[in-house]
Structure 1
Amino acid sequence: MYILIVVTFIIAACYGAPYKVKPFNSCGYEACNLGQPDKLNVHLVAHTHDDVGWLKTVDQYYYGARSDIQRASVQYILDSVIESLVQNPERRFIYVEIAFFWRWWNQQSQEIQDTVKQLVNDGRLEFISGGWCMNDEGATHYNSIIDQHTLGFQFLNDTFGECARPKIGWQIDPFGHSREVASLFAQMGFDGTFFGRVDYQDKDQRNKTKTMEMIWKASANLGQ
């Protein structure tokens, strides 16, 4: 089992192009807009990157306290995202850190929860990675990586069902990447992973040789 690695922020994904009529109430790849085959289709993917504790505590990040340290308030991100998705059916959003989403979800009314469930079922709100947080890689024990992803996966499955199952890993901020994490993501069933921090010399070379996308054989023991 291999996993597709993409080391770029210009993502040819399935968001925002209004050219494909998708089946009603479809999610996952069925909800993708493929764009126009005779044109270069550029898709801008709006996503979160909310540290579950870094310069501030988790509570301070969620509620927006201590703005003198960093201006960040996750609850308002989620409030505005849901409102924006409802206003325009062509919009898409991907959410990553389940620790914050779980907290926000438990504070919402039944009406808002029903709206969010419909957005997930329509493929307009998608969860990727699906862990409680975006874990570091170099010094993190594999048991902790598995446990924190299991916690997030369980919440998504119990709350939204199959349409919320993450299909892509999302490691855009760890300082360095490990073979073991790529192996774990493949075994979790991810179709690929995006990572964003890469040595500038490696990135420059991949840009020149058009090898920003690659297949990473993370473990010789995984087989096909």
Structure 2
Amino acid sequence: MWPHISVKYPQYVYTTSGWIQVIDVPNYNPKRLQVFIVPHSHQDPGWIETFEGYYQSYTKKTLNNIVSFLSKNPTWKFIWSEIIFLEKWFREPSSQTVEFKRLVANGQLEIVTGGWVMADEAVTHFSAMLDQLVEGHLWLRQNLGITPNVSWSVDPFGHSPTMTYLLKEAGMDKMVIQRVHFGIKRHLAQRQQLEFLWRQTWGGYAGTNVWKQN
């Protein structure tokens, strides 16, 4: 694929979708558009504020609101990914945590990836990526009795085939990724290949395939 990918910068760039304006649709058959909206979490354990600062200012309120709104609206759904914040929230037992477990059990609230954090994949050693995944999955098994099978990776700066392999071995069969170089995303969009099977070049067999949505 690489010899055919242009990394020339688009004339007009939008923060998350600079490739859109180069997709030419000469004709199409009008039909009803199906739109998927996925309410989800992305809680940084550390960036501009401290872990405690984020928890008290944002995350605790977010978790409380998730439980409150989902309980009042049985058709609503939400996904959560960062276990480090969930573990801290559960250390403050209340009726909210009991209701959280019920919402997970009835399918309104889905835990995705299940890592301790949404791990960086660009400069991190595989042992660190694996350790945080094991820690998050152990907590989920012990406290909620679940193991995620869908990965949600929307903020790491780049995506690693090593992380894909680790997630596959941890039971993931689908992944959603976001931070892809605009040249690659444009190339895939032009060929309607934003959904694809990711197989590591060193894997060499179908057992390492993971279904990717980009």
TM-score tier (shorter): 0.7 to 0.9
- 3-state SS of paired residue (1:158): helix
Residue 152 of structure 2 corresponds to residue 159 of structure 1? no
In the alignment, structure 1 segments of 5+ residues that lack a partner are 1-7, 10-37, 65-72
Residue 40 of structure 2 corresponds to residue 47 of structure 1? yes
Residue 91 of structure 2 corresponds to residue 91 of structure 1? no
What is the alpha-carbon distance in structure 2 between the residues aligned to residue 150 and residue 221 of structure 1? Answer: 25
Contact 2:64-2:96 within 8 A present in 1 as well: no
Distance 1:147-1:122 versus aligned 2 partners, 3 A rule: same
Residue 169 of structure 2 corresponds to residue 187 of structure 1? yes
Q: Give the residue type in structure 2 aligned to 1:129.
A: T
Residue 106 of structure 2 corresponds to residue 122 of structure 1? yes
What is the alpha-carbon distance in structure 2 between the residues aligned to residue 203 and residue 148 of structure 1? Answer: 28
Deviation at residue 40 of structure 1 after TM alignment: 4.9
What is the alpha-carbon distance in structure 2 between the residues aligned to residue 200 and residue 174 of structure 1? Answer: 15
Distance 1:181-1:57 versus aligned 2 partners, 3 A rule: same
The list of structure 1 runs, each at least 4 consecutive aligned residues, that deviate by more than 6 angstroms after superposition, is: none
Name which of 182, 186, 203 aligns with 1:220. Answer: 203
What is the alpha-carbon distance in structure 2 between the residues aligned to residue 106 and residue 177 of structure 1? Answer: 32
- Across the aligned residues of Structure 1 and Structure 2, the Cα RMSD in angstroms comes to 1.9
Residue 91 of structure 2 corresponds to residue 106 of structure 1? yes
Paired residues for 1:1-224 under 5 Å = 40-64=33-57, 73-109=58-94, 111-161=95-145, 164-218=146-200, 219-220=202-203, 224=207
What is the alpha-carbon distance in structure 1 between the residues aligned to residue 153 and residue 44 of structure 2? Answer: 12
Deviation at residue 42 of structure 1 after TM alignment: 2.4
What is the alpha-carbon distance in structure 1 between the residues aligned to residue 97 and residue 52 of structure 2? Answer: 22
TM-score, scaled to structure 2: 0.78
What is the alpha-carbon distance in structure 2 between the residues aligned to residue 108 and residue 41 of structure 1? Answer: 40
Q: Give the residue type in structure 2 aligned to 1:57.
A: T
TM-score, scaled to structure 1: 0.75
Distance 1:75-1:222 versus aligned 2 partners, 3 A rule: farther
What is the alpha-carbon distance in structure 2 between the residues aligned to residue 151 and residue 185 of structure 1? Answer: 13
**Which deviations, in whole Å up to 9, do the C-alpha atoms of 1:157-212 show, x marking residues without a partner?**
11111xx3211112111111111111111111101211101111211222221100
Deviation at residue 108 of structure 1 after TM alignment: 2.8
Deviation at residue 222 of structure 1 after TM alignment: 5.8
Distance 1:55-1:222 versus aligned 2 partners, 3 A rule: farther
Q: Give the residue type in structure 1 aligned to 2:190.
A: K
Larger relative contact order, structure 1 or 2 (CA cutoff 8 Å, min sep 6): 1
Q: Identity of aligned pairs, percent?
A: 33
Rg (Cα) greater in structure: 2
Deviation at residue 61 of structure 1 after TM alignment: 0.6
- 3-state SS of paired residue (1:89): coil
- 3-state SS of paired residue (2:88): helix
What is the alpha-carbon distance in structure 2 between the residues aligned to residue 86 and residue 187 of structure 1? Answer: 34
Deviation at residue 43 of structure 1 after TM alignment: 2.2
Contact 2:155-2:179 within 8 A present in 1 as well: yes
